[in-house]
Amino acid sequence: MISKGFLYFTFFYYVMSKDIKIYIASPLGFSEIGKKFLYGKIIPIIECAGYQVIDPWKLTPDNLIKSVLDLPLGEERKNKFVELDKIIGKNNEQGIRKSTGLFAVLDGVDVDSGVASEIGFAAALEKPILGYRNDFRLASENEGAIVNIQVEYFIKNNGRIITKIDDLGKELKLMFE
């Protein structure tokens, strides 16, 4: 027989976890292989841990982006990108504002500038941030930092950096439960 305590804990865990929204800051949506890692590994781990995902790659409708990409090179395409970039930026800002916390992919020879901006914005909003860096290349000003000093400071001020993607679910639970 299942105890009332167990049922209460299960209900509480389910309701609380579903209210937690994780914004994913990453450059992974720009490439086919990156998308496979994002949608085949990262998002399933976050969802299996019981959290909602705010995916900036899904916040702006594909048809808006495709309509601009389909234009020939030239002034019209450039002007349409100026308009589209404002929409994308605003959608991502709103996604970060609605999130409970941020998960940031830090791989690369330097942290992606968009990811660094999202980290800074989330830090200014005092959102918990979990960074992930598995790249073995050096990406900091000195051996005391894993990535850019300021990026690392803003992450560690209200979060931490992990080096194994399989630790993602466990680390999110430590941050939010």
Q: Where are the domains of the chain?
A: 20-176
- pLDDT of 141 higher than 80: yes
Backbone angles phi, psi at 52, to 5 degrees: -80, 150
The more confidently predicted of residues 5 and 39 is 39
Give the residue from 82, 102, 105 showing the smallest Cα distance to 92: 102
Q: Which residue has the higher pLDDT, 111 or 10?
A: 111
User: pLDDT: is 23 or 109 the higher one?
Assistant: 23
By C-alpha distance, which of 26, 34, 48, 30 is closest to 115?
Answer: 26
Inter-axis angle of helices 62-69 and 75-98, to 10 degrees?
A: 160
* CATH number given to 20-176: 3.40.50.450
Q: How confident is the model at residue 17 (pLDDT cuts 50, 70, 90)?
A: low
Percent of the chain scoring above 90 in pLDDT? 81
Q: What average pLDDT does the chain have? A: 90
Q: How many CA atoms lie within 13 A of 47 on its CB side?
A: 10
Q: Among all chains, which residue has been given the structure tokens 């990108």?
A: 81
Type of residue at 29: G
**Distance in angstroms (rounded) separating the CA atoms of residues 53 and 120:** 19
The per-residue pLDDT for range 42-92, each reduced to its tens digit, is 999 999 999 999 999 999 999 999 999 999 999 999 999 999 999 999 999
The structure tokens listed for 96 are 């970060």
Q: What distance in Å separates the CA atoms of residue 95 and residue 146, rounded to the nearest whole number? A: 27
